[in-house]
Structure 1
Amino acid sequence: MGMRGRELRCRLLQNTTVIIGSVALIYSVCSPSWYQNKGLWYMPDVTNSSTSERTEFHHPLSRAVEAERVFGVIATMMAITAICIALLLICCWNPDTYIESKMNPGRILHPGKLLIVILVPTALLYFIAWSLFTNRHMEQMKNDITQFGSAYWMGMCAWFTLLVILPIIYLVEQCSHQEPDISI
């Protein structure tokens, strides 16, 4: 029971980490408190100095903001999917039932692999959005870091949880996992 108990604890910890990291990511993308109560969805006022007209999508800053939003939306949709899968694994996965791979007979499917395959790209996409936002506000960050809101810091925690902590938990689970003897 010792090895199996450790496996179950790792899987529960992994699924809980998925849910916490994904909820933090979703909150961060949807919240307006990134910088000075302006979130990812706030459109900066971009004016063209020669004509003094607002050019929304022709300015490089506008394209950067749009890229942040696209990466944020895709990461949010993937995070919602990961939460659903984690809840299914918590509620419905029977650890005593081992499922063989149809593509690679003899190999056992592990639910943690599915979460890693979904969440590492999710965290990378969100990290790109977060990095673009950080790069755009680098000067303000140097002057006063306290103007960044809870969503900005929650986003940092989200990508760190999904890119660093989740793979570590997965590796611990894989190290503690022992393949069952399947006789044919």
Structure 2
Amino acid sequence: MGFPELDDAVSRFRFAQSCLGLLGCLCVCYAVWTPHWLNGRGLWSEWNNTISEESHREAAAVNAVEAERVFGLVSFLIALSTGVLCLVFALWWTSRTVRSYSNTRSLLLAGQALYPSTLLLLTMASTGFFFLFSWSLFTYQHREEIGGDPSGLGASYWLGAVGWVLLLVVETAVFVAERSVVPDILPDLEEAVEAWRISSQLKAAKRAADWSGEMKR
């Protein structure tokens, strides 16, 4: 582990996105597993069904609670992997990583550049989407209680809201800003590969000449 690379716009945007992602993932993980959503209860608390006495409405309420928990658990698992990815890109990834020969050659063969910010956007958006779904279901299920006494909403609920806003809204805005500011790296990669190709040909020709000279002796 070393100091974050902040020498150019690419590295600064990457570090900013990584920090946003890590903070958003921490908020999501905290919200999923803590009970401070509404009146001291959370996703995993047992709630009295006060919606209706009708059996089909009760079944719908149970299904909604199960969906909240499933999407919350999925978002937690994705948040763990996204958080690790954010740490890797923030602390270990450098501009030299993407410009290694093997990476450069494979990227050019695929015809596209490897942008860490794109991978961050995809994983962060997935985390935010699944948690937003869980958060929205919870809000809808308890809309009457929330409307009657909004002060009952706890830290877990609001930190969860901060989490999905960071992962979906703020991250998307930073990604769009990066794409409009940072130039495409493919031309530089093509020049690097061409330089490596010429260098390899010259070395091969030199070895062939040396071998031919030794054979004549």
Q: TM-score range by the shorter chain?
A: 0.7 to 0.9
Question: Displacement, 1:91?
Answer: 2.1
Query: Quick check: 1:32–1:151 contact (8 Å CA) kept in 2?
Result: yes
CA distance in 2, matches of 1:142, 1:104: 56
Per the alignment, in what secondary structure is the counterpart of residue 96 of structure 2?
coil
Residues 72-91 of structure 1 correspond to what in structure 2 (within 5 A)? 72-91=72-91
Residues 1:8 and 1:43: Cα distance change in structure 2 (over 3 Å): same
Flag structure 1 segments of 5+ consecutive residues without an equivalent: none
Query: Quick check: 1:68–1:132 contact (8 Å CA) kept in 2?
Result: yes
CA distance in 2, matches of 1:103, 1:124: 32
CA distance in 1, matches of 2:182, 2:112: 13
TM-score (norm 2): 0.74
Question: Displacement, 1:142?
Answer: 1.6
CA distance in 2, matches of 1:49, 1:134: 21
Query: Quick check: 1:46–1:59 contact (8 Å CA) kept in 2?
Result: no
1:60-115 deviations in Å (ceiling 9; x for gaps): 21111110000000000000000011111122211134334558534220111111
Corresponding residue number in structure 1 for 2:19? 16
Matched, 1:174 2:186: no
CA distance in 2, matches of 1:73, 1:165: 23
Corresponding residue number in structure 2 for 1:45? 48
* Higher radius of gyration, 1 or 2: 2
Per the alignment, in what secondary structure is the counterpart of residue 13 of structure 2?
helix
Residues 1:141 and 1:46: Cα distance change in structure 2 (over 3 Å): closer
TM-score (norm 1): 0.86
Residues 1:49 and 1:131: Cα distance change in structure 2 (over 3 Å): closer
Residues 1:137 and 1:45: Cα distance change in structure 2 (over 3 Å): closer
> Letter of the aligned partner of 1:160 in structure 2?
V
CA distance in 1, matches of 2:89, 2:41: 36
Corresponding residue number in structure 2 for 1:28? 31
Residues 155-166 of structure 1 correspond to what in structure 2 (within 5 A)? 155-166=160-171
1:27-73 deviations in Å (ceiling 9; x for gaps): 011110000000110021349959xxxx9xx7221111110000000
Q: Using CA pairs below 8 Å that are at least 6 residues apart, which structure has the higher relative contact order?
A: 1
Query: Quick check: 1:7–1:176 contact (8 Å CA) kept in 2?
Result: no
CA distance in 1, matches of 2:109, 2:31: 39
Per the alignment, in what secondary structure is the counterpart of residue 134 of structure 2?
helix
CA distance in 2, matches of 1:10, 1:45: 47
Query: Quick check: 2:27–2:162 contact (8 Å CA) kept in 1?
Result: yes
Matched positions, count: 176
